């Protein structure tokens, strides 16, 4: 075939892809067998149906791909385990590591000699961020520090005045049978101290700061929760008939903007994790979480929707078995995310690397990654809370060597 014919075929393929997208028609879902034994590391022959008809060989390369995974403190604080994990990750073609600096429990995994007044947490001194970043750079990997924002069970228990209120003087708790876990995202002191922590981390030399739980609580007796910005509005509402009352998305977007200003001072990039459900654009979900991509993403370099199929209802979006149909849920989610995200913000979903709730197999992983690529994601991150990637990384490596990815 002549080069002119090849170019014409590629042009026709691209036009067909554009037509399908413009018509709102997703690509056909591959018939992905999910019966591979969980303990098997053998990769079966790939069915032809996994190759979409309008994706040509020339288009199958994902230029500028950012691929990574999350490593918990048990790995990143142990040099032997860290180096073993990095060697395996690089062999699988990954180039990003995200690690904890502040956790859901409120643990801070760095020492704060310059700001011991920053937050009343016991610092564990697990990371020397500059040294850890140098190690990651030695493996040609980006250093991404994950900071949990408004979920902080340690501080919520010790500083009830920083929590939402259910009535004047009565701190709110999402579940009376459980310990409190949430701070008030609109509380000025909460925001001030978190921005100060972001400043400390940004000065350490990491490449990126990733904000997690940058949202309002959504579970429990949420209708009883009153937040600082709502109390303030109620106080002035009677005296100011022209008051423009902010919404939860306004609070979150304003905080993200301030975090971006801090990061820009040190040339550090900023990203944020968001609930998958907000990608469907329902006002009730956006208002409840405060995560509005159209307001948040102008201040972000990357956005990470958390697309774990195990977390969707089995019949979500009229599917038969969403947890075990990862291709469609990832494709639909990334497509929606791109529509709602600022043009200057990359879309990099978190994909499921844990076995909970799904028939986890090599082809489950392949389906997720291919769906992200076909929907136009700029990369992805793999999530396993315990950082067990002994099966995942060989699968990724073998699929890349076979040309499937």
**Residues 179-214 pLDDT 10s:** 999 999 999 999 999 999 999 999 999 999 999 999
Query: Using 50, 70 and 90 to split pLDDT, how confident is the model at 324?
Result: confident
Other C-beta atoms closer than 10 Å to the C-beta of 48 total: 9
What mean pLDDT is predicted for residues 166-175?
89
In the predicted model, is pLDDT for residue 239 greater than 70? no
Q: Return the minimum-mean-pLDDT range out of 37-41, 79-83, 377-381, 401-405.
A: 37-41
What is the pLDDT at residue 64? 65
pLDDT at position 205 is 92
pLDDT of residue 94: 96
Instruction: State the residue for tokens 């190759």.
Output: 51
Instruction: Report the C-alpha gap between 182 and 174 in whole angstroms.
Output: 8
pLDDT at 119: 64
If you average pLDDT over residues 143-152, what whole number do you get? 97
The closest alpha carbon to 211, from 220, 198, 222, 225, belongs to 198
CB atoms within 10 A of CB 224: 14
Do residues 276 and 334 touch, judged by C-beta distance below 8 A?
no
pLDDT digits (tens, 9 = 90+) for 276-303: 999 988 999 999 999 999 999 999 999 9
What is the crossing angle of helices 362-374 and 392-402, to 10°? 60
Is the model's pLDDT at 7 over the cut of 60? no
- Coil, helix or strand at residue 230: helix
Q: What is the CB-side half-sphere exposure of residue 347 using CA atoms within 13 A?
A: 25
pLDDT at 116: 65
Q: Strands 208-212 and 269-275, how do they pair?
A: parallel
Measured distance CA(103)–CA(210) in Å, rounded: 12
Return the ∠ at Cα 334 (arms to 148 and 398), rounded to 5°: 90
Q: How confident is the model at residue 28 (pLDDT cuts 50, 70, 90)?
A: very low
pLDDT digits (tens, 9 = 90+) for 67-90: 999 999 999 988 999 999 999 999
SS3 73: helix
The radius of gyration computed from the CA coordinates of the chain, to the nearest angstrom, equals 22
Q: Supply the angle between the helices 188-202 and 248-265 in degrees, to the nearest 10.
A: 30
- Of 371, 373, 375, 367, give the one whose Cα is nearest residue 395: 367
Task: Tell me the backbone φ, ψ of residue 379, rounded to 5 degrees.
Answer: 150, -165
In degrees, rounded to 5, the angle at the alpha carbon of residue 92 between the alpha carbons of residues 88 and 97 is 70
Residue (of 388, 366, 390, 383) closest to 43 by Cα position = 366
357: pLDDT strictly greater than 60: yes
Distance CA 213, CA 124 (A): 21
| Rounded (to 5) percent helix, strand, coil in the chain | 40, 15, 40
Structure tokens at 48: 């032809």
Q: What is the pLDDT of residue 42?
A: 33
DSSP string, 26-45: PPPPP-----S-TT--PPPP
Whole-number pLDDT of residue 273: 98
Q: What is the overall mean pLDDT for the chain?
A: 82
Domains, the chain, ordered by start: 36-71+303-405 (no CATH), 74-300 (3.20.20.80)
pTM > 0.85: no
Q: What pLDDT, in 10s, does the model give residues 254-282?
A: 999 999 999 999 999 999 999 999 998 89
pLDDT of residue 118: 65
Q: What is the DSSP string of 377-389?
A: -SEEEEE-TT---
DSSP strands (E only) in 248-289: 269-275
């Amino acid at each position: 075939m002549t080069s002119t014919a090849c170019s014409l075929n590629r042009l026709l393929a691209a036009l067909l892809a554009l037509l399908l997208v413009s018509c709102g028609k997703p690509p056909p879902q591959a018939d992905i067998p999910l019966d591979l034994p969980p303990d098997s590391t053998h990769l079966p022959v790939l069915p032809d149906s996994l190759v979409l008809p309008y994706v040509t060989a020339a288009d199958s390369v994902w230029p500028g791909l950012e691929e990574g995974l999350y490593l918990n403190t048990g790995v990143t604080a142990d040099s032997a385990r860290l180096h073993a994990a990095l060697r395996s990750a690089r062999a699988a073609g990954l180039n990003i590591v995200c690690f904890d600096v502040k956790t859901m429990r409120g643990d801070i995994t760095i020492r704060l000699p310059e700001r011991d007044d920053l937050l009343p947490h016991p610092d564990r001194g697990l990371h020397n961020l500059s040294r850890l970043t140098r190690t990651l750079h030695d493996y040609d990997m980006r250093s991404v520090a994950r900071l949990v924002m408004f979920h902080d069970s340690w501080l919520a228990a010790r500083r009830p005045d920083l929590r939402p209120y259910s009535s004047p003087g009565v701190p709110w708790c999402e579940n009376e049978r459980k310990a409190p876990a949430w701070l008030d995202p609109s509380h000025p002191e909460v925001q001030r101290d978190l921005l100060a922590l972001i400043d400390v981390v940004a000065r350490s030399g990491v490449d990126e700061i990733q904000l997690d739980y940058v949202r309002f609580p959504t579970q429990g007796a949420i209708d009883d929760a009153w937040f600082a910005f709502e109390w303030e509005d109620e106080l002035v509402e009677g005296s100011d008939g022209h008051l423009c009352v902010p919404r939860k998305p306004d609070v979150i977007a304003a905080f993200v903007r301030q975090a971006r200003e801090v990061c820009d001072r040190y040339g550090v990039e900023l990203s944020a994790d968001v609930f998958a459900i907000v990608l469907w654009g329902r006002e009730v979900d956006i208002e409840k979480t405060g995560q509005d991509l159209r307001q948040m993403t102008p201040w972000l370099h990357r956005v990470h929707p958390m697309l774990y199929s195990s977390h969707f209802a089995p019949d979500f979006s009229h599917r038969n078995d969403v947890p075990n149909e990862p291709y469609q849920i990832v494709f639909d989610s990334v497509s929606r995310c791109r529509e709602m995200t600022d043009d200057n913000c990359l879309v990099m979903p978190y994909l499921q690397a844990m076995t909970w709730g799904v028939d986890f197999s090599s082809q489950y992983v392949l389906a997720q990654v291919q769906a992200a690529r076909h929907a136009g994601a700029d990369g992805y991150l793999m999530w396993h809370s315990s950082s067990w990637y002994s099966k995942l990384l060989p699968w990724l490596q073998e699929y890349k060597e076979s040309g499937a990815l």
